[in-house]
Amino acid sequence: MSTPPSTILVVDDDTHVRFMLRTLLRQEEPVLLEAGSAIEALTLLEQHQVDLILLDVVLPDQDGFTVCARLRDDPRWREVPILFLTSLNDHASRLQGLNVGADGFISKPFDHGELLAQVRTIMRLNRYRHLLNEQKRFVRLIQLAPDGIAVLDSQGRFVLVNPALVQLLGVMSETQLRGTPFSAFLPPDGLERYHACMQRLIAKQEQTLRTELLIQNSQGTAIAVELSMGCVADIQGEQVQLILRDITARKQAEAQIQRQLAQLTSLHSMGVAITASLDLRHILARLLENIGNQLGVDACAILLLNQQSGTLELAASHGLDLPDDADLLLHSDEGLAGMVFQAERPLAETQYAQQTWPNPRDRLLATRFASYFALPLRARGEVQGVLELFLLQPFSPDHVWWLYVEALAVQAAIAIHTAMLFEQLQLSSAELTHAYNATIEGWSRALDLRDHETEGHSLRVTDLTMQLARAMGVTGEDLEHIRRGSLLHDIGKMGIPDSILLKPGPLSAAEWEVMRQHPTYAYEWLAMIPFLQQTLIIPYGHHEKWDGTGYPRGLKGEAIPLAARIFSVVDVWDALRSQRSYRPAWSDERTLEYIKERAGSHFDPAVVAAFVRLIGSCCQR
């Protein structure tokens, strides 16, 4: 740690004395402040951080003792060293000086050597005190920091740990951690990442590194953290500083989004299948087609139990072409399929064609196929039916084939179970829509949650965007897409690290680069989901500008989708009127002025005109 040059205040009304001191102290290179009176001295002290005061005893306005006593009374200057400028034999002054708190004396006429020795001693003490203060401040900062902070030695063992980290790691006290390696809190995959980071730091490939990983605290709880690492050199050698930020909440929000995305997708595909046919048979037929293709069997069938009649009915088949004959209907204990159903065990009949079967269905099928395999279809502990596979040629499956078939049977059973549930529930398309909307709203709330200051932002902008869109003549389905798009407009911010998203000040160029990715992230995530194609127009397009200077695509004018042009006005309206970590909230008037000024540059003028009318009519109420 380098110390700044010392600042010395010389207080003497004799300009000759000041000149002498200036000359003598030159080689110490201090910042020299000069005052000719007590008043001037106090003014300078108010304005500067002073390390040493050289004080004359006789001043025009006040005597030096009074000044000294006054400084010692004020906590701001109590610690500043004060040397009196006195003549060598003035014992009375020296005594009085000590009484009012002087640190020493410099004799007039000045002896160069004595002066420098005195000043240097005091300065050294001073620097030491500076360091101590600095260290105290630093330690206090670390103690109070909400992030976990630690210093590790070159072996990766804890040297210094702050209370937040003690808590995060779930240990009793700092002493318990000292000497323990940080790696003790890392599960295997985290450990690998951490070692890789360490190596890059030590090899000086990197000054600081940031990564996200899971740590495991002493209670065995896994905690997601953002880990920043940096090298610090110390007298004890290389050390590494760690900063750990708990990002569990953010990770949970992200995981929730992933889950909901999966739910939404499966809801949707169910919805499509159900509304397209409202028929389980249709779903099963597609499933069998897949099985037939993947297993290379010549035919397959699914028999499902009909609860009312107690029979196994052919629900779907692929490559069977059975005559539509009631004789082929099986009671749930008849035939090979019935056996499999009752026993709940798979069956392999590699000699299918060589035998005479008691059941007419088997007899018929055995004339066509050489091998027969059947598996119970079981989901949630309940057997629903039987999956049958037929091959034209004799076939002896191996272990791996069976594993694969069983996995497929499980998949089929689950699909059947779910589809049946849906059928039972008679899930109408209105209910499905409701389920989507509930999911998207929950999703949007999770997004707002991440950025505390913008809570409710998504709902507010959605409300207003809908009003504006209606005012501009948007109707029907398009309105619904706009609604969902608004709710999810900043979903891409999930990809922006907290350190940037929540930064309490303007962003640096590099941080902007990251921030400007958020519409692209939204596109990358949502584009994969067919039914969100219309929804992603706003998340992807809401930072485009009318004059083409926006991002990420730099679209211009009507090349920007109308929904995005409408939304961007409302987004800026709401953003500016909300307090942000980097600026206070703006008034309605100022914000409206801002938007009007930018009609034709940032915003579509037609949208701004409609917006001004809309806001005007709201405000008059």
Residues 463-522 that bind ligand SIN (CB under 6 A): 490, 493
- Binders of Fe ion among residues 483 to 542 (CB under 5 A) are 490
- Bridge partners, residue 16, by sequence: none
Which does residue 458 bind out of ligand C2E, ligand SIN, Fe ion, none, counting CB within 5 to 8 angstroms by kind? ligand SIN
Burial of 513 (0-12, 13-18, 19+ CB in 10 A): exposed
- Could you tell me if 253 and 231 are in contact, meaning their C-beta atoms sit under 8 angstroms apart? no
Per CB under 6 A, 298 contacts ligand SIN? no
Smaller CB separation from ligand C2E, 110 or 551: 551
CB 443 within 8 A of CB 487: yes
Residue 172 gets the label, from left (phi > 0), alpha (psi -120 to 50) or beta, of alpha
Q: Which two tokens stand for residue 181?
A: 């390696």
Q: Which residues fall within 8 angstroms of residue 311, CB to CB, at 6 or more apart?
A: 305, 329, 330, 331, 332
**Are the beta carbons of 611 and 557 closer than 8 angstroms?**
no
Q: Is 608 in the site for ligand C2E (CB under 6 A)?
A: no
Give dist(CA 427, CA 121) in Å, integer.
87
Q: Distance (Å, rounded) from C-alpha 365 to C-alpha 402?
A: 22
Residue 453 DSSP label: G
Size of the site for ligand SIN (CB under 6 A): 11
Determine, following the binding rule CB under 5 A, whether residue 571 of this chain makes contact with Fe ion.
yes
Choose the stretch contacting Fe ion; rule: CB under 5 A; options: 150-158, 225-233, 364-372, 563-571: 563-571
**Nearest to residue 384, comparing CAs of 410, 354, 351, 403?**
410
For position 544 contacting Fe ion by CB under 5 A, the verdict is: no
Residue closer to Fe ion by CB (options 388, 571) is: 571
From candidates 12, 34, 246, 448, binder to ligand SIN by CB under 6 A: 448
40 lies in the site for ligand SIN, by CB under 6 A = no
User: In this structure, which long-range contacts are made by residues 162-166, counting pairs with CB atoms below 8 Å and at least 24 apart in sequence?
Assistant: 165/244
Stretch of residues binding ligand SIN (CB under 6 A), selected from 61-69, 244-252, 356-364, 450-458: 450-458
| Interface residue with ligand SIN, options 345, 363, 583, 613 (CB under 6 A) | 583
Among 93, 96, 317, 458, binds ligand SIN (CB under 6 A): 458
3-state secondary structure of 162: coil
34 interacts with, out of ligand SIN, ligand C2E, Fe ion, none, CB within 5 to 8 A per kind: none
Which is nearer to ligand C2E, 28 or 254 (by Cβ)?
254
Kindly state the smallest distance separating residue 582's Cβ from ligand C2E, in Å.
4
Q: Does 545 bind ligand SIN (CB under 6 A)?
A: no
**Residue 604 in the binding site for ligand SIN (CB under 6 A):** no
Beta strand spans in 164-250 (E): 208-216, 222-234, 237-246
Q: Which two tokens stand for residue 259?
A: 């889950």
**Binding segment (CB under 6 A) for ligand C2E, from list 248-256, 280-288, 369-377, 576-584:** 576-584
Give the span between the Cα atoms of 515 and 496, in whole angstroms.
Answer: 6
Which parts of this chain interact with ligand C2E (CB under 6 A)?
503, 506-507, 515, 543, 571-572, 575-576, 580-583
Which residue ranges make up the site for ligand SIN (CB under 6 A)?
Answer: 447-448, 450-451, 454, 457-458, 490, 493, 575, 583
